[in-house]
Amino acid sequence: MTALEQYVSSYFGVAEAAELAVISSLFKPETIKKGDYFLLTGKASDRLSFVQTGILRIFLATENKEVTQWISTKGYFVTDLSGFIFEKPARWTIQALTDTDLFTIKREDYKRIGVLVPKWHELEKLFIASCFTTLEDRIFTHLSMTAEERYELFFEHNKSLFNQVPLQYIASMLGMTPETLSRIRKK
């Protein structure tokens, strides 16, 4: 069983081995180099990928600064969800922070899953609902915690990320400046 199959079965709970094989056969291996863009804001978001190895940064460039929305690592799916699902221009830019191995499905093939695997839409609904809950938690941290508390919480759950990606991106993702993050970490 590939990492993709394990992930799909653990998160989506597809029961039938045959269905699992169908799903994973539609994902194709893809490699992107450090610095390459997986997606650009405004372009068509026509693929959904599973990160096998490597790190990607999801961000948006504003007039003043780049705002990092999320950092995707091994075991995560990566896409611009609204662009992918609703066939609208991508909201986010996604760039590889390291050489990255992906399993990628094109929208065309993705649509076939719903036909081939009857339970797919329901499983996907549950998956997106759990993502929704994660974002609810994240909003809650911004409504109720200081920068330092947000750092502590994130650090507890993502220790290994801190020696793999530039801290400035983590700072942005936590809603603080690199200087503030640096001062918090000094303690």
* C-beta closer to a second copy: residue 28 or 121: 121
Sheet holding 28-32, edge to edge: 28-32, 100-106, 47-53, 77-78
- Whose structure tokens read 């303690």? 187
Write the DSSP assignment of 94-158 as a string of letters: EEESS-EEEEEEEHHHHHHHHHH-TTHHHHHHHHHHHHHHHHHHHHHHHHH--HHHHHHHHHHH-
What angle do the packed helices 120-144 and 147-157 form, to 10 degrees? 140
135 is an interface residue for a second copy by CB under 8 A? yes
Q: Cα 97 from chain centroid?
A: 13
Residue 86 interacting with a second copy (CB under 8 A)? yes
136 lies in the site for a second copy, by CB under 8 A: yes
Shortest spacing between CB 25 and a second copy, in angstroms: 22
| Residue recorded with tokens 């068509």 | 44
Shortest spacing between CB 101 and a second copy, in angstroms: 26
Taking CB under 8 A as the criterion, the residue among 99, 101, 124, 148 binding a second copy is: 124
Closer residue to a second copy (CB): 33 or 125: 125
The edge-to-edge listing of strands for the beta sheet with 55-61 is 37-39, 93-96, 55-61, 66-73
Choices 5-13, 14-22, 140-148, 156-164; region in contact with a second copy by CB under 8 A: 140-148
115 touching a second copy, by CB under 8 A? no
Toward a second copy, which CB reaches closer, 16 or 87?
Answer: 87
185 binds a second copy (CB under 8 A): no
25 makes contact, choosing from DNA, a second copy, none, with CB < 5 to 8 Å by partner type, with none
Binding site for a second copy (CB under 8 A): 60, 62, 65, 67-69, 81-82, 85-86, 91, 114, 121-122, 124-126, 128-133, 135-136, 138-140, 142-144, 172-173, 175
